[in-house]
Amino acid sequence: MLVVLVAALASLAVAAPPAAAAPRAAGAAPQAVPPQDDAFYTPPDPIPDVPAGTVLRSRPVSVTAYGLPVPVRAWQVLYRSTSATGEPNAVSGTVLVPDTPWPGTGTRPLVSYAVGTHGLGPECAPSYKLARGTEQELPLIGQALRRGWAVAVTDYEGLGTPGPHTYVAGPSLGHAMLDAARAAQHLPGSGLSPSSPVGLWGYSEGGFASGWAAQLEASYAPELDIRGAAVGAPPTDPESLAEVHDGGPFSGLVIAAALGLATAYPDAPFEEILTAEGRRAMAALATMCVEEFSTRFALRTVGSYTTVDDPMALPRWQDVLDAVRLGGTAPSSPTMIYHSPTDELVLFDQGVQLHSAWCRGGATVRFQPAVAGEHVLGAVTGAPLAVDYLAGRFAGRPAPDTCRVTG
């Protein structure tokens, strides 16, 4: 895996000549300052009464990858978005535009990209990792940049900005993706415009986010010219995955999801049902990235931290889990779901379930199981399929539709 990523980074670094070095612009991001120590990430209080997607502040940033220069112009942005419960919030992110002029006709396409699980704490934010040169998904993002497309990478709610991150809160993730596209289109100096065609792309948590963005676009951001979405390994039904993984090797993700959803839906009982150990554990978890909490909370159950044996069975938690389940609304734009049949983390039936639900709703969907490897490797082997799919949509070619076959 590491060899594949390093090779991809190298190809990205030499894809175009880097711009000549120049002094950092006024207001540019300080290098490697964690978000919790960087006033840029602190939202204004109160959140301004402006439309969703409005840029609240921005600054240029240099993007590197393990010491290799990345030939892009980039900005960190803080933009207005919307929480899972419909409240205005502020979300951070990064906009990347290739140095080279757009070679195609019309305006440069824009991909709103959503990362997979990074964690709950501020130092897990993609915008911080991109500035620091440690963002592991940059090789995937680079495949869009090499096509000449601009890319907006959301940090999601509470990841970068004060958190913890509202992990698995699908509506919040979808809003953040759509508003990242809006912010990029209106960012001075980006060369983008409200007429720029938009694609949605993400894998794992990012696939969940892009699925939610695809479902929400018609009602939440109808002005965006969204040509299509690539939804990778989507955890369609978080409740059923939690039942599989709670207490197992991947239980850290389940416990993180409980904290993320409790943050997004504060009326769901959580703090009041935590044991003393649970309160200490959640305070620590709120600052962790995925590498740390996956190890620390492996083989533990959510119930081991609460006074309730099965907190997910509580009526309000059932409402929350229903609210974040994908598939209830058919996307209005063409969509591809790609998923490895050997995925051990987000089980393959999650993608099958989403495909069936969206087909029943009348969507145009391609289900693509030709992805090799387990969950992490599937992100790498599936990325070229995702980029090719979006390229077809940007070119105006007819979208393939497996719903006609499998319904």
Residue 18 lies in a domain: no
Task: Report whether 237 contacts 136 (CB < 8 A).
Answer: no
Residue 368 falls inside a structural domain: yes
Do 220 and 278 fall within a single domain?
no
Do 150 and 231 have their domain in common?
A: yes
* Domain edge (last residue) among 288, 323, 358: 323
More confident residue, 404 or 355: 355
| N-to-C CA span, the chain | 35
Domain range for 356 is 28-237+329-406
- HEC string of 150-215 equals EEEEECCCCCCCCCCCCCCCHHHHHHHHHHHHHHHHCCCCCCCCCCCCEEEEEECHHHHHHHHHHH
Q: Residues 341, 233: one domain?
A: yes
Whether residue 346 sits in one domain with residue 309: no
Is the dihedral angle over the CA atoms 391, 11, 369, 226 positive or is it negative? negative
The yes-or-no verdict on residue 31 having pLDDT over 80 is no
- Kindly list the strands in the beta sheet with 198-203, ordered across the sheet, starting from the edge strand earlier in the chain: 55-60, 72-82, 88-98, 150-154, 110-114, 198-203, 226-232, 335-338, 365-368
CATH number at residue 316: 1.10.260.130
Q: Are residues 170 and 232 both part of a single domain?
A: yes
* 298 and 244 within one domain: yes
The per-residue pLDDT of the chain, averaged, comes to 92
Per-residue pLDDT tens over the stretch 205-260: 999 999 999 999 999 999 999 999 999 999 999 999 999 999 999 999 999 999 99
Residue 6 pLDDT exceeds 70? no
Asked if residues 165 and 124 have their Cβ atoms less than 8 Å apart, the reply is: yes
Higher pLDDT, 288 or 31: 288
The average pLDDT across 60-85 equals 93
In a domain, 263, yes or no: yes
Indicate whether 133 belongs to any domain. yes
Whether residues 166 and 305 share a domain: the answer is no
| Same domain for 170 and 272 | no
Q: Percent of the chain at pLDDT above 90?
A: 88
pLDDT of residue 405: 64
Query: Hey, what are 361's tokens?
Result: 């709703």
Burial letters for 157-166: b for 16+ Cβ neighbours within 10 Å, e otherwise? Answer: bbbbbebbbb
Q: What is the mean predicted confidence (pLDDT) over 76-95?
A: 98
The total of structural domains in the chain comes to 2
- DSSP H helices, 249-407, are 251-264, 276-285, 290-296, 315-324, 348-360, 375-394, 403-406
H or E element, residue 220: helix 205-220
Q: Looking at residue 78, what is its pLDDT? A: 98
Pair 338, 398 in one domain: yes
What pLDDT score was predicted for residue 67?
79
Q: Which among 278, 293, 323 is the end of a domain? A: 323
C-beta of residue 148 within 8 angstroms of C-beta of residue 318:
no
Measured in whole angstroms, how far is the alpha carbon of residue 273 from the centre of its chain? 30
Please give the share of the chain, as a percent, with pLDDT higher than 70. Answer: 91
> 357 with 317, same domain?
no
Please tell me the chain's helix, strand, coil percentages from 3-state DSSP, rounded to the nearest 5: 40, 15, 45
Question: Given pLDDT bands bounded at 50, 70 and 90, which one contains residue 318?
Answer: very high
At residue 14 the predicted structure's pLDDT band, cuts being 50, 70 and 90, is very low
What's 83's domain CATH number?
Answer: 3.40.50.1820
State the Cα–Cα distance between residues 173 and 193, nearest whole angstrom. 23
Assess whether 67 and 179 both reside in one domain.
yes
Boundary residue ending a domain (272, 303, 323): 323
295 and 366 within one domain: no
Average pLDDT over residues 389-400: 98
Q: Is residue 5 situated within a structural domain? A: no
Other CB atoms within 10 A of residue 350 CB = 25
Residue-wise pLDDT for 322-371, tens only, equals 999 999 999 999 999 999 999 999 999 999 999 999 999 999 999 999 89
Rounded Cα gap, residues 345 and 116, in angstroms: 12
119 has pLDDT over 70: yes
The average pLDDT across 274-297 equals: 98
Question: Is there a domain that residue 65 lies in?
Answer: yes
Residue 203 CA, chain-centre distance (Å), reads 8
Crossing angle for the helix pair 251-264 and 238-245, to the nearest 10 degrees: 140
Residue at 279 is within a domain: yes
Name the pLDDT band for 30 (thresholds 50, 70, 90). Answer: low
pLDDT of residue 375: 97
